[in-house]
Structure 1
């Protein structure tokens, strides 16, 4: 089935749309969307409406960290998150790290099915509620 959405680099004009998607995904990191544009941002759009986004940053030469990935609940399980992740991984040549809430089994399974491996845990990493983070890594050529 062909994708009926597109993935492109995000721009500051997308901040309010990102805020709306983020508000629908309380399990995602809750940053101020304007902060994301200090890093790399991708958005997924359908009919000029943002339905998902992914943010990553360079941490060192050949190393990257995914800071946030969120998809509107109505758009989940339609390939949006996978398309965002695929595009980010194509742009990040090297090691890509991320943290995910230990209780977020759906996200952990999603990342594992995308080639990420579990490296370990960061105890009490998250607040509201306090929870461990699972650290995962993907290595591209």
Structure 2
């Protein structure tokens, strides 16, 4: 039987594990972990170990009074990918409209977000670095 997953807010104690998860995902965002504290960052734990995190930026003044947010980063420990961690984190987002950017060549992420109702709404040239790559802008809601 699989262990239960817990979703909880980020704390200062999570800085090292966020850094480790980022390093294990070299094409993902590579922020200074303390910067995540300025946003709404949630952690996924299994058996007391952090296995992923999601950083969301709530946006003010949504269109037609709808609540809006932007996903800034979603990263999962490689040993726990494709086990429902990203799905559990995404399910906790409580906004009516959600925006995000995905590397153009990140097919698994594009498919994942499409499965959850995101659609392509734009394209940004050379948006990402290390390596330089275009972004697909996506929106749900």
Instruction: Determine helix, strand or coil for the equivalent of 2:86.
Output: helix
Which deviates more, 11-20 or 63-72? 11-20
Unaligned 5+ segments in structure 1 are none
Deviation of 1:2 after TM superposition, in Å, equals 6.0
1:13 is matched with which residue?
13
Structure 1 residue ranges (4+ consecutive) displaced by more than 6 angstroms after TM superposition = none
Instruction: Determine helix, strand or coil for the equivalent of 1:119.
Output: strand
Once residues 49 and 135 of structure 1 are traced to their aligned partners in structure 2, the CA distance between those partners, rounded to angstroms, is 32
Instruction: Determine helix, strand or coil for the equivalent of 2:110.
Output: helix
Once residues 25 and 2 of structure 2 are traced to their aligned partners in structure 1, the CA distance between those partners, rounded to angstroms, is 25
2:24 is matched with which residue?
24
Once residues 129 and 77 of structure 1 are traced to their aligned partners in structure 2, the CA distance between those partners, rounded to angstroms, is 24
Equivalent pair of 2:3/2:46 in contact (CA under 8 Å): no
Unaligned 5+ segments in structure 2 are 62-66
Once residues 77 and 2 of structure 2 are traced to their aligned partners in structure 1, the CA distance between those partners, rounded to angstroms, is 19
1:120 is matched with which residue?
122
- Give the TM-score, by structure 2 length: 0.91
**RMSD of aligned C-alpha atoms?**
1.4
- Give the TM-score, by structure 1 length: 0.91
Pairs aligned (count): 136
Q: After TM superposition, list the pairs within 5 Å mapping 1:1-141 onto structure 2.
A: 4-61=4-61, 62-88=67-93, 91-92=94-95, 94-139=96-141
